[in-house]
Structure 1
Amino acid sequence: MKQDYKTLAGALTNLLSLQTPPLAITFTQQDPPGMPRYEGTLPPPTPDGRTGKVSAGCVFWMKAVDRTFHTCAEDHGNCSVGSLTHGFITLDVAAKRADVKALVDACWVTPEVFPKIPVVKQRPKCVVYGPLADTKMDPDVVFLRLNGKQAMILHDALPDLRFEGKPQCHIIPIAKEQGQVALSVGCMLSRVRTGMANTEMTSAIPGHKLTEVVEKLKATCGADKAVATYAAEDARRFGYRAS
């Protein structure tokens, strides 16, 4: 490993006051030695053949908070959009699936959007998920769950932070393939499947930029604390305490 990820995970958690630990997401071309595969059962497939160990790959973000595991294409297979963004299937395959048709029929997306969705370029054999502090591999992506204030702090540190919407999972290839830090306001498809709180957003940081991001956060968090102290003192003139 190139970095002390336990220390970096602690720094991210402290600087952003994270309620959920940062995750490491790594794409591999082989089975990670000694690492368990995500356990689960495949429910009966839909008429178009979709099934998976969870309803969508974004659910693995919730499952990996306290343990590390790897997944394969069939584990992600119930969600065609997530399978597309993570490089497991092509656009031609995704476009023929019933779940994609349902999104188009609901006018949630239009067909011309799909070719523009960022995707992982090389089909992986496995995707590894787990706490950043425990990773034994250099991650491709560091994944954060944020509230509004935490997103504000991240944006203070990274004014060129890329803001995205649906589908939420495409911030993973933005970070991995385009080398950009991205923040997603989320999407209804993912929020329902993951049970993610309404107050949460997500961010994906390219693994190779993690140290740079932490250093920028250290600088801007100091400035934010100074401004917060000033604002709190100034607010006392009006007879209330700042939150």
Structure 2
Amino acid sequence: MENATNELLTGWKTLANELSHSLHLSVPPVSITFSDESPDSVPAFDEPMSSPSDDGRAGRVPASCVFWVKAIAATFTTSPKDHGNCSVGRYTHGLASFAEVADNADIAALLESGWVDGTDVGKIPAISKRANAISYGPLTDARFAPDVVLLRVNGRQLMVLSDAVPELRIEGKPQCHIVALAKEYNQVAASVGCALSRARTGMGPDEMTVAIPGSRLASVVQAVRQTAAVDTVVAKYAADDAKRFKVRQ
């Protein structure tokens, strides 16, 4: 059993390193796993619970997407109550139905501002099965198969991914629904981000996110490796060709 576990750990670490190398990622890939029970080997996220809002919302972070940032440095597991502050994240992560969050103040604020349309908000992709635990951490340290691998990318990196995965979906707001697209529909999905998530996570203006189903990671890494190699050849040709246009002194 120990040998099998070590091989699994080595496999995820290898894929993570290949992906980071091929795409020149500045932020390491993050693993996300949904489960019925909290894994014994993973510590619970232990930052304090916030004080409740007027409508009773509380959580250990402002929104589920903030766990993506926390997971760059540490592996941890969360419970549904840890995600309680952001109603959008609770819905997309399958922790609440839309009917359960529809009357919350944050949903009301989004609707009143026109950020989302009331007729469409309930159609946003969401995970169907309610998990009792969601674990996060660097993919290099993954202790079990992730359901979703999350990347933070720039425009050039998304270019490579788009060529490598022709069926890649590019989505808008809310940013967190790409996790549902990856887990629920087995789709590789990118998000240009959303104002709500950017304000809460502190993501840079040039950063976007990509969610890859864990079951597809090996094939995506292989395609990315091949695409990146071809792009390197083409970029060198273009750079050499451009030398003819330099101004002569």
Query: Which TM-score band (shorter chain)?
Result: over 0.9
Q: What's the TM-score, normalizing by structure 1?
A: 0.97
1:201 corresponds to = 208
Instruction: Say if 2:159 is the partner of 1:152.
Output: yes
Aligned residue among 100, 118, 121 for 1:111? 118
Instruction: Say if 2:45 is the partner of 1:38.
Output: yes
Distance 2:59 2:52 in 1: 8
1:73 corresponds to = 80
2:131 corresponds to = 124
1:13 corresponds to = 20
In the TM superposition, what are the counterparts of 1:19-34 in structure 2 within 5 Å?
19-34=26-41
Q: Provide, for residues 133-174 of structure 1, a one-character-per-residue CA deviation record: whole Å limited to 9, x for no partner.
A: 101110000000001100011111011110000000000010
1:137 corresponds to = 144
Distance 1:54 1:217 in 2: 33
Distance 1:157 1:31 in 2: 35
Q: Provide, for residues 24-75 of structure 1, a one-character-per-residue CA deviation record: whole Å limited to 9, x for no partner.
A: 1000100110311111112221111001010001000110102100011111
> Retained in 1: the 8 A contact 2:50–2:60?
yes
- Secondary structure, aligned partner of 1:43: coil
Aligned residue among 95, 103, 112 for 2:102? 95
**Structure 1 residue 229, shift from structure 2 partner:** 0.6
- Secondary structure, aligned partner of 2:64: coil
- After alignment, is 154-163 or 187-196 more displaced? 154-163
Distance 1:158 1:34 in 2: 34
Q: How many residues align?
A: 240
Percentage of matched positions with identical amino acids: 50
Distance 1:195 1:171 in 2: 18
**Structure 1 residue 115, shift from structure 2 partner:** 2.1
Q: Which amino acid aligns with 1:112?
A: T
- Secondary structure, aligned partner of 2:231: helix
How large is the RMSD of aligned CA atoms in angstroms?
1.1
Unaligned runs of 5+ in 1: none
1:228 corresponds to = 235
**Structure 1 residue 119, shift from structure 2 partner:** 0.7
Q: Which amino acid aligns with 1:36?
A: P
Distance 1:43 1:206 in 2: 31
**Structure 1 stretches of at least 4 aligned residues deviating more than 2 Å after TM superposition:** none
Instruction: Say if 2:59 is the partner of 1:59.
Output: no
